[in-house]
Amino acid sequence: MHDVGYLLRQPYWLDESWVAVSTRVPLRDLPLVTASSPLGWTVLLRLVPFGGPERQRLVPLAFAGLAVALGYLLLRALGRGRLVAALAGALPVLIAPAMLVRDDLKQYTADAAVLLLLWLAVARLDAAWTRRRLVALGVLVGLAPLVSTAAALSGPAALVAVVGAALVAHDRARVREASLLALAAGAVLGVVLLLTVLRNSTDSLREFWVDHYLPRSPVDALPEAWSRWEAAAAYTLVPHALPALLLAAGGAWALWRSGKVASALLVPVAALGSAAAAVLHVYPFLDVRTSTWLLVGVSVLAAVAVAVALGALAAPAPAAPAAAIRLAATGLAVAAAGSAAHVAHPYVRGHTIFAQDVRSQAERVAADKRPGDVVLVALSATWAYAYYSGTGPVPVERTDSVATRFLPSFAGAPDVQVVRGRGPEAVRQAVRRAVGSAGPDGRVWVVRTQIAAEERPAWDAALRQCGQEVRVGVDPLLVLRAGGGCG
């Protein structure tokens, strides 16, 4: 389903490099580099023993595999047989486009796995209410943000679902126990989020997601939310908004009717919580990446609806014509399987990671750089160059000028300079400084990636005045001559 060889040879692009370089940061600085990935997930990346410089991508792949297993266990906990659990639990998670496109070094598959783990814990409470299972759910909710930022939504949704199920059952003892557990787990969740996520939240990070929030007015929020759902539904196993919503609702209703009330509530409550968070401008709504977990949840609910329909057809009333029922069940099964395969096929073994290549530039600089040369690193290439240009620890410096709130420090490498700002004037100043500090016969090796449109004329001017481009991978390396009139 995933091209592992491709994952292990494609260089990290900008957003991935933020995460990759965190594996080289001294442990004492680790809390400083978790603006774009959870602390525990970042620690896990350091434990991968093989696979080359891009080996950390095996972690999201492992979480994708774990999510498939959890999907199977979830359906088993909901009382389904092995075949139904495989087809309605494991398979939707395995082939959902939202999961198949998640090959990059991000925690989005972990978000999905955490949702399914919480859902499994809730299903076990639906099956048999015990304080031990209740406490286990609380522990999961409290600690889940260490590997999943989305657990800030899926965790509370699990707690609300359990309290809601107790209220529906009119069981005062369970309501009291579930409410106390929700308060305790919510407090732990809040502390973990405060220490590991919120401390690194920045205005620039919120501004990056501003187009993915929802308007505060309900009149404007509802049509915008539906528009987002129309786009995001393509990444479920039912790629059309209304049928996907109806099937997911049918799956939730089937769980409710079977007495699995908390399990039925979890994903709908999480969806409402996600919308509320987007209205409050604290979490993007139905962005395909950050809502991978929710799209997987919808896919599983839709598969449950199909499985229940097939089960009803397979057990017809005594007076019903058996041959017609079997034919209808077979037709529904074939249609469901064909639709799922059609939806998933374009994404199987896909190569969806952005093509950027600071790695080749760093290798070329290391091979050809000589005394008197200077390396000038564009701001967007800083993290990747720090990761690919050495093997030792990477010190970091705190800054609010970038969304990640940290930059690698090259203080120990006097021949490496960084374009500290953005815009054409920052480029021109950095070029003049680098050229002026190079030796008489020195060169300036300019490492760049994801060049901003407004900065390109300044780079092009430097190229015309005193430089040449060296093709190495998809990103050209710019080499400037000292004393060539640059700037």
Give per-residue pLDDT as tens, 139-164.
999 999 889 989 999 999 999 999 99
> Which token pair is 107?
């925690």
Q: Check residue 304 and give its pLDDT.
A: 87
Determine the 3-state secondary structure of 397 from DSSP.
strand
Confidence check: pLDDT of 199 > 80: no
Confidence check: pLDDT of 319 > 60: no
Q: What are phi and psi of 470, to 5 degrees?
A: -115, 120
Q: Check residue 26 and give its pLDDT.
A: 86
Of the pLDDT bands very low, low, confident and very high (cuts 50, 70, 90), residue 255 is very high
Q: Check residue 329 and give its pLDDT.
A: 55
Q: Check residue 303 and give its pLDDT.
A: 85
Q: Check residue 388 and give its pLDDT.
A: 92
Percent of the chain's residues with pLDDT above 90: 31
Region 326-335: what's the mean pLDDT? 60
* Helix segments in 39-107, DSSP class H: 39-45, 58-77, 82-85, 91-95, 97-100
Domain ranges of the chain: 34-347, 358-481
> Which token pair is 48?
């991968």
* Helix segments in 290-403, DSSP class H: 292-314, 322-344, 358-368, 382-388
> Which token pair is 4?
């592992």
Q: Check residue 324 and give its pLDDT.
A: 57
Of the pLDDT bands very low, low, confident and very high (cuts 50, 70, 90), residue 167 is very high
The dihedral of CA 163, 248, 213, 354: what is its sign? positive
> Which token pair is 414?
């006097």
Q: Check residue 335 and give its pLDDT.
A: 64
Q: Check residue 330 and give its pLDDT.
A: 61
Confidence check: pLDDT of 309 > 80: no
The answer to whether 2 and 375 are in contact (CB under 8 A) is: no
Q: Check residue 312 and give its pLDDT.
A: 62
CATH 3.40.50 for domain 358-481: yes
Region 129-137: what's the mean pLDDT? 92
Could you tell me the pTM of the whole model?
A: 0.88
Q: Check residue 201 and give its pLDDT.
A: 67
Confidence check: pLDDT of 258 > 60: yes
Confidence check: pLDDT of 367 > 80: yes
Rounded CA-CA distance 457/29 in Å is 37
Confidence check: pLDDT of 345 > 90: no
Among 343, 269, 351, 352, CA closest to 299: 343
Rounded CA-CA distance 463/486 in Å is 8
DSSP 287-316: -TTTTHHHHHHHHHHHHHHHHHHHHHHHS-
β-strand partners of 376: 417, 446
Give per-residue pLDDT as tens, 396-450.
888 777 777 788 888 888 889 998 888 888 888 888 888 888 888 888 899 988 8
Confidence check: pLDDT of 313 > 60: no
Of the pLDDT bands very low, low, confident and very high (cuts 50, 70, 90), residue 202 is low
Confidence check: pLDDT of 134 > 90: yes
Region 272-295: what's the mean pLDDT? 90
Confidence check: pLDDT of 314 > 90: no
DSSP 92-118: HHHH-HHHHT--SSSTHHHHHHHHHHH
> Which token pair is 69?
């297993």
CA dihedral of residues 339, 340, 343, 348 (deg, nearest 10) = -140
Confidence check: pLDDT of 27 > 80: yes
The answer to whether 22 and 45 are in contact (CB under 8 A) is: yes
Q: Check residue 328 and give its pLDDT.
A: 59
> CA dist 379 to 155, 234, 376, Å?
36, 35, 10
Q: Check residue 203 and give its pLDDT.
A: 67
Confidence check: pLDDT of 315 > 60: no
> CA dist 317 to 156, 186, 308, 314, Å?
41, 47, 15, 10
Of the pLDDT bands very low, low, confident and very high (cuts 50, 70, 90), residue 268 is very high
Q: Check residue 412 and give its pLDDT.
A: 82
> CA dist 309 to 71, 169, 259, Å?
19, 26, 17
> Which of 398-402, 441-445, 455-459, 473-477 has the least mean pLDDT?
398-402
Of the pLDDT bands very low, low, confident and very high (cuts 50, 70, 90), residue 126 is very high
Region 282-298: what's the mean pLDDT? 90
What is the average pLDDT value for the chain, to the nearest integer? 85
Region 314-320: what's the mean pLDDT? 55
Determine the 3-state secondary structure of 447 from DSSP.
strand
Q: Check residue 428 and give its pLDDT.
A: 87
* Diameter of the chain measured on Cα atoms: 96
Q: Check residue 90 and give its pLDDT.
A: 84
Rounded CA-CA distance 272/73 in Å is 25
Q: Check residue 340 and give its pLDDT.
A: 72
Q: Check residue 180 and give its pLDDT.
A: 92
The dihedral of CA 148, 153, 156, 161: what is its sign? negative
Region 266-276: what's the mean pLDDT? 94
> Which of 108-112, 330-334, 343-347, 353-357 has the least mean pLDDT?
330-334
The answer to whether 481 and 467 are in contact (CB under 8 A) is: yes
Let me know if 11 is exposed, middle or buried by CB neighbors in 10 A (0-12, 13-18, 19+). Answer: buried
